[in-house]
Amino acid sequence: MVTHTTMRAWMHTSTDLPLEKGMTLVTDAPYPSNPLKANEILVKVKSVGVNPADPIFAELGWPTRVLVKPNPIPGMDFSGEVVSTGSNVTSMIPGDRVFGRVDTQKGLPGSMAEYTKAEVEGCVPIPAGFDWDQAAGIGTAAVTAYESLVLNSNPGDSVFINGGTGGVGTFAIQFAKAHGCKVTVSCSTAKVHLCKELGADEVIDYRAEDVVSVLKGKGKIFRPCG
């Protein structure tokens, strides 16, 4: 049995922006060797998704930076293979292919490393037909769309998604349709066909129409683009 003490990982080594300028690939990052909590799994990472929230450390003002541990490993979304599981984990076993997200706000190291820990509640088996990269891009975008839209709408509602072809927007269209909503989406001319393929009932090409004028009286607005 191989015993690890260090691993490769991307780590914040400065607060330079863009994100890649403030990160360094190191070979001596600490391996997550502490015992797993009852609801945690240890994962050998195969692929990582990058989110707009990942460079937040570099964007923090100096008073906040002093409260953040130096050289944290960034990253939330990942796909990989389960290495070991906590005592209460019954839904996954070593060798399972999973994807999910790391809750770095709870002190867990990020996903941009060879190995990462995650709470099992934030992980799901990879469906058949999905490769590592496809699965790694699901986590945060899908959760954001679900919690923002599905939990705040009802079947039959008319919903507007402002920006339907980003990571959050593409999930939002599909979730809203599955939830029984009537979905109106805005996008550029080149993305109209994609939005329709994803299930949008009406697509507003913001290069050809005034979005506000078209929207008057249509219902709830969901803005995934911030």
CATH 3.40.50.720 assigned to 153-218: yes
Predicted pLDDT at 150: 86
What are the helix (H) ranges across the chain? 56-59, 62-65, 132-136, 139-149, 167-178, 192-198, 211-215
Mean pLDDT of 184-203: 96
Superfamily classification of domain 6-139: Medium-chain alcohol dehydrogenases, catalytic domain (3.90.180.10)
What average pLDDT is seen over the chain?
Answer: 87
Predicted pLDDT of residue 60: 64
Tell whether pTM > 0.85. no
pLDDT higher than 50, residue 71: no
Residues 6+ apart with CB under 8 A from 207: 188, 189
CATH 3.40.50.720 maps onto the chain at 153-218
Which pLDDT value is given to residue 1?
46
- Structure tokens that stand for 78 in this block: 């990942």
**Of the listed ranges 36-50, 53-67, 202-216, the one predicted with least confidence:** 53-67
**pLDDT at position 206 over 70:** yes
Mean pLDDT check: name the lowest of 23-32, 75-84, 168-177: 23-32
Name 154's Cβ contacts closer than 8 Å, sequence gap at least 6: none
Per mean pLDDT, which of 2-16, 55-69, 144-158 is the most reliable? 144-158
pLDDT at 65 over 70: no
d(CA 90, CA 103): 20
86-144 pLDDT, tens digit each: 999 999 999 999 999 998 878 788 999 999 999 999 999 999 999 999 999 999 999 99
Cα first-last separation, the chain: 47
Neighbours of 21 (CB within 10 A): 12
What does the DSSP 8-state code read for residue 134?
Answer: H
Residue ranges of the chain assigned to CATH 3.90.180.10: 6-139
Q: pLDDT category, 216, cuts 50, 70, 90? A: confident
